[in-house]
């Protein structure tokens, strides 16, 4: 009788043991597949949510009076608009989402407001990303919450700023800060209104890499900026940068802990099933040894069963894990739901890893069964 025939008879005779072992492999594979299938969406969701906290870098003129800067909320010194384009042309920067802006307090309708001009967002070479902020069309404005409420403005209304008419594109939601008294317009329009053509007073940006082992990210950023724009300096919003760093670390540490624990539990589960199976079949194994079956054949019987369990568990686990990811992923990661899609490469890896995983988990019980003394087993019988 061949090893494969014995294996099938063994499976049929020990259906519960086989089913529990198969369930262990299936759970392990399904968990890993579901995690990796949603991992990209999870990563992008975290990045997007952290990104939505806002720009965490501010590039301003080097000779800015910092006391006035913090008091006013913007620099009273200007820079050439060309600085933003020069920065965007550099490779290897830790910056992304470059936004050239011009801010100025003006009096409008008897109120002091902040007029802000915004250029289309720029990206350094190789860092093209979707914009963090809307693009403002020339001749249109976005009005802060308090101003919209005070003057009962609605989208489509027109306002006059220093003799020029603008159409209200949108009234912004309440932010609870100075943005509620801000009017946003296209940068060329604001430059013309203020008589500051070609000038900006801030470049906002996002620090791309929050984790720089052994280095202060601000020092690295300042070194890079000094090489490109020696007449400017960079300020890092620590609270936002630190929050982004901690969130990324949390996600990475969480998954690096969970996966090994699940796989370890499933390995013990499979090993325990194999050990109990070998113990229950002690007398049968003794008879097989007495009939001339060698230790290698006995070990092959248990390991071939483990490999079969691994292959079946790989297919079932991939199907279950993928189905779970496709069903639950879009509900969990609403912003990046489109990134949740089947990963067929995981099936190939599952068909390789799961049988090895099952065989390794069953190795010790298989060796115990293969080396047992047939005389001792039959004496107990």
**Of 177, 202, 236, which residue is a domain's last?**
236
**Span 234-259, average pLDDT:** 64
Among 184, 22, 166, residue whose Cα is nearest residue 104? 184
C-alpha–C-alpha distance, residues 338 and 105, integer Å: 42
The answer, yes or no, to whether residue 270 has pLDDT greater than 70, is no
The reply to whether 360 and 272 lie within a common domain is yes
Q: 36-40, 70-74, 233-237 — which is least confidently predicted?
A: 36-40
- Percentage of the chain beyond pLDDT 70 is 63
**Span 74-103, average pLDDT:** 87
Report how far apart, in Å, the C-alpha atoms of 71 and of each of 171, 195, 229 are.
Answer: 26, 24, 25
pLDDT of residue 131: 73
For the chain, the 3-state helix, strand and coil shares in percent, each to the nearest 5, are 60, 15, 25
The reply to whether 275 and 230 lie within a common domain is no
For 217, residues 6+ apart whose C-beta sits below 8 A from its C-beta are: 94, 207, 209, 210, 236, 241
**Of 217, 236, 255, which residue is a domain's last?**
236
Residues in the chain, overall count: 381
The reply to whether 215 and 253 lie within a common domain is no
3-state secondary structure 118-146: ECCCECCCCCCCCCCCCCCCCCEEEECHH
User: What confidence tens digit (pLDDT) does each residue in 302-334 have?
Assistant: 677 778 888 888 899 899 988 887 777 666 655
Q: 227-241, 267-281, 338-352 — which is least confidently predicted?
A: 267-281
Residues facing residue 79 across a β-bridge: 200
Among 311, 314, 125, 95, residue whose Cα is nearest residue 220? 95
Domain that holds residue 336: 3-49+246-380
C-alpha–C-alpha distance, residues 234 and 42, integer Å: 31
The reply to whether 215 and 73 lie within a common domain is yes
The reply to whether 333 and 375 lie within a common domain is yes
Is 314 part of any domain?
yes
Report how far apart, in Å, the C-alpha atoms of 157 and of each of 122, 140, 217 are.
Answer: 30, 10, 45
C-alpha–C-alpha distance, residues 33 and 320, integer Å: 9
Which residue shows structure tokens 């759970």?
27
Whole-model pTM: value is 0.58
Other beta carbons within 10 Å of 110: 5
Question: Quick one: tokens of 311?
Answer: 């292959």
**Of 178, 210, 236, which residue is a domain's last?**
236
Higher pLDDT, 48 or 181: 181
Name the pLDDT band for 46 (thresholds 50, 70, 90).
Answer: low
Name the pLDDT band for 350 (thresholds 50, 70, 90).
Answer: confident
Domain count, the chain: 2
The reply to whether 213 and 73 lie within a common domain is yes
pLDDT of residue 381: 47
Beta strands 57-61 and 158-161: pairing type? unpaired
Name the pLDDT band for 124 (thresholds 50, 70, 90).
Answer: confident
pLDDT of residue 141: 96
Q: Where are the beta strands (DSSP E) in the chain?
A: 57-61, 79-80, 95-108, 111-118, 140-143, 158-161, 164-171, 182-186, 199-200, 202-207, 232-236
Average pLDDT, the chain: 76
The reply to whether 336 and 198 lie within a common domain is no
- The HSE-up count of residue 28 (CA atoms within 13 Å, CB side) is 32
Do residues 166 and 139 make contact, with C-beta atoms less than 8 angstroms apart? yes
Is 174 part of any domain?
yes
The reply to whether 184 and 67 lie within a common domain is yes
Is 355 part of any domain?
yes
Among 291, 363, 348, residue whose Cα is nearest residue 315? 348
Most confident of 13-17, 33-37, 86-90, 128-132: 86-90
Most confident of 43-52, 183-192, 361-370: 183-192
C-alpha–C-alpha distance, residues 227 and 229, integer Å: 6
C-alpha–C-alpha distance, residues 273 and 163, integer Å: 83
The answer, yes or no, to whether residue 81 has pLDDT greater than 90, is yes
Do residues 88 and 169 make contact, with C-beta atoms less than 8 angstroms apart? no
């Amino acid at each position: 009788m061949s090893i494969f025939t014995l294996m099938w008879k063994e499976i049929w005779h020990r259906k519960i043991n086989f089913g529990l072992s198969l369930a262990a492999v299936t759970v392990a594979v399904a968990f890993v597949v579901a995690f990796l299938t949603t991992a990209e969406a999870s990563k992008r969701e975290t990045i997007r949510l952290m990104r939505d906290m806002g720009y965490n870098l501010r590039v301003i003129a080097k000779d800015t009076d910092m006391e006035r800067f913090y008091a006013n909320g913007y620099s009273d010194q200007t820079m050439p608009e060309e600085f933003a384009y020069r920065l965007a042309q550099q490779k290897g920067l830790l910056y992304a989402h470059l936004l050239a802006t011009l801010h100025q307090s003006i009096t409008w309708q008897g109120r002091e407001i902040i007029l802000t001009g915004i250029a289309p967002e720029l990206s350094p070479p190789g860092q093209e990303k979707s914009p963090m902020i809307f693009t403002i069309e020339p001749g249109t404005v976005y009005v802060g919450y308090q101003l919209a409420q005070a003057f009962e403005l609605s989208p489509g209304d027109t306002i006059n700023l220093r003799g020029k008419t603008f159409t209200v594109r949108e009234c912004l939601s309440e932010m609870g800060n100075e943005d509620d008294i801000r009017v946003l317009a296209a940068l060329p329009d604001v430059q013309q209104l203020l008589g500051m053509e070609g000038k900006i007073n801030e470049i906002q940006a996002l620090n791309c890499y929050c984790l720089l082992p052994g280095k202060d990210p601000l020092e690295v950023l300042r070194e890079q900026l000094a090489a490109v724009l020696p007449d400017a300096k960079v300020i890092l919003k620590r609270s936002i940068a630190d929050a982004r760093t901690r969130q990324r670390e949390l996600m990475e540490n969480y998954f690096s802990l969970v996966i090994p624990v699940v796989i370890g539990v499933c390995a013990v589960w499979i090993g325990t099933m194999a050990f109990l199976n070998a113990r229950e079949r002690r007398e049968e194994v003794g008879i097989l040894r007495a009939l001339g079956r060698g230790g290698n054949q006995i070990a092959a019987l248990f390991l071939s069963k483990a490999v079969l369990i691994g292959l079946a568990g790989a297919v079932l686990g991939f199907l279950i894990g993928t189905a779970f990811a496709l069903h639950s992923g879009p509900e969990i990661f609403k912003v990046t739901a489109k990134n949740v899609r089947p990963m067929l490469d995981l099936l190939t890896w599952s068909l390789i890893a799961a049988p090895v995983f099952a065989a390794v988990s069953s190795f010790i019980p298989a060796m115990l069964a293969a080396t047992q003394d047939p005389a001792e087993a039959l004496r107990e019988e």
